[in-house]
Amino acid sequence: MHTARPFLSKSRCVLFLGLLAFPAALWLGPGVAVAQESNELLPLSQVRAGMQGYAYTIFAGDQVEKFNLEVIGVLDNFLGPRQSIILVQLKGPKVEHTGVVAGMSGSPVYLDGKLAGALSLKLGIFTKEPIAGVTPIQDVLNPPSQPATAQAAVQQLGLPSEASTRTGLPSGSALEPIETPLVFSGFQPAALQQFANQLQGYGFVAAQGGTASPRPDDGRLVAGDMAGMVLVQGDASINSACTVTVVQADRVYLCGHPFLNLGDIQIPMARSRVVTTLSSDLASTKIVNVGGSIGTITGDHLTAVTGKLGAPPAMIPLDLTLLVSGAEPAKQKTLHFELINHPKLTPLLVALTTFNGLTQNSLYGEGTTLHLSGEIRLQGHAPVQIENTFAPGDSLSPDGLPIALTMQNVFTRLFINTFEPAKVDRITLRVESVPGRKSFSIESAWLEKGEAAPGETLRVRVLLRPYRGAARVEETTVRVPEQMARGTTLRILVSDADLPAAARPAWINSLRS
């Protein structure tokens, strides 16, 4: 009996260690499985209906999970000439509960143990089975360039609802790209609502999320992880998020479909971390936090978004200061943001960020006059000076909205100039809130006399009526151009500052014609 005790003690020790090792192996299973997957690719020509396969994605945390699928068939020339799609049905408890999830696009798909493509499309809404489309891996690794004239056409692959009705197709029965969530952190829904039409026009699906502190392992991506574009960062952020299909050295391939089909770009790339997956019959989505920057998104094409690990590109700093006058002492608060420099996106991002930073500021209040001043620093040019005053209105529209729309208009004009690309170094804006409604209406204007010689300076008198105040006369001067021929009738326009700026292009065209 005494000799048996050491043997029994050792047996228990071995059993105990084995039980400890077993949960550890279970926890590491999904990550190890992805790392051990074959690098061999499966050509589209070898894909057959009925093939069994699997894919990887993250439903919560950092754990890449595996789910099964079955090939239904191949849709040849679906996206365009020689741009085919593999139609699959997802299988397993989780995907049958959630359906195809926004943010799942790019999930690597394996058939016969070989990488066959990236999950990229979903079929219908309120469907009983999760049916999805897979972009073949050859197209993911070699995304075709798309001409600018065709970019808008690929944003929506389904038929418009009106066309669906005319053709007898039920609404939501077409294959469409899986939504890429555009994660807004620090933005309130009321602020986004003011730009809802523009966001929908871009095809964005807005989702609320947060930010996560950068980690040393942010750049260690594997297939099934999540990453995306950084559009705005700082005191508020806007980021896209989708799944990584494959990583080859420092090259990253994700999404399996375009974000906005912007072509060759230079936009920061960041790690995304899944908090949870929200299941919905209408549209399931991943709730994500955005991590640290890990590189550059270099391409946004029809069949994939591509990136490169490393240092991210520079962004445009935007400093927004709100000063409240009339209080003792005066109060002010400054917010700092960084935005991407892109002609199609920057004007909208400036407007969104300015409006949200202003109206969601704890110092902001409706019913005050807002004085905007600031500058836009451009490479190789003198700074663009900005100054305007906005009085509160009587409509339900927020008083800060005209400032945001003014900034959007300024940047749109900068980026569409026909001389050279606009390279913006920094944006500095200052908004002073003054109590009361400081607005005036022009009731009439007249010249001191009806005739003048070329080069002569004339006095102009303007009758102004302040809001709920007594009218008063203000005087200014105007100089008659010396090149005006005698006997010419000269019209003088008296207006606010915005009207001549808007009308100037028409005057130039008429003079040239």
Look at residue 33 and give its three-state secondary structure. Answer: helix
Q: What is the pLDDT of residue 342?
A: 93
Is the Cα torsion angle 360, 364, 368, 370 positive or negative in sign?
Answer: negative
Own/partner long-range contacts of 92-99 (Cβ < 8 Å, ≥24 apart):
92/67, 92/68, 94/59, 94/65, 94/67, 95/67, 95/130, 96/129, 96/130, 97/279, 98/59, 98/130, 98/277, 98/279, 98/284, 99/127, 99/130, 99/279, 99/281, 99/284
Give 149's contacts (C-beta < 8 A, 6+ positions apart): none
Secondary structure E strands in 301-330: 305-309, 316-324
Q: List, in sequence order, every residue forming a beta bridge with 233; answer none if it has no partner.
A: 338
> What does each of the 513 residues of the chain score in pLDDT, given as a tens digit?
444 444 333 333 333 333 333 333 333 344 444 545 778 999 999 999 999 999 999 999 889 999 999 999 999 988 778 789 999 999 999 998 888 988 899 999 999 999 999 999 998 777 778 999 999 999 999 986 654 434 333 333 333 333 333 334 444 567 888 888 888 999 988 888 899 888 877 767 788 888 888 889 898 999 999 999 999 999 999 999 999 999 999 999 999 999 988 999 999 999 999 998 888 877 888 888 899 999 999 999 999 999 999 999 999 999 999 998 866 777 889 999 999 999 999 999 999 999 999 988 877 878 888 999 999 999 999 999 999 988 888 777 888 899 999 999 999 999 999 999 999 999 999 999 888 888 788 888 888 888 888 888 989 999 988 888 888 998 989 898 888 888 888 888 888 766 665 544 333 333 332
Pick from 177, 172, 179: which is nearest to 124 by CA?
172
- Burial label for 36, CB within 10 Å (0-12, 13-18, 19+), is exposed
Q: What is the pLDDT of residue 13?
A: 39
The CA distances from residue 270 to 10, 233, 274, 290, 477, in Å, are: 50, 11, 13, 7, 56
**What phi and psi, each to the nearest 5 degrees, are found at residue 23?**
-65, -35
Q: What is the pLDDT of residue 487?
A: 81
How, if at all, do strands 440-447 and 305-309 pair? unpaired
Q: What is the pLDDT of residue 448?
A: 84
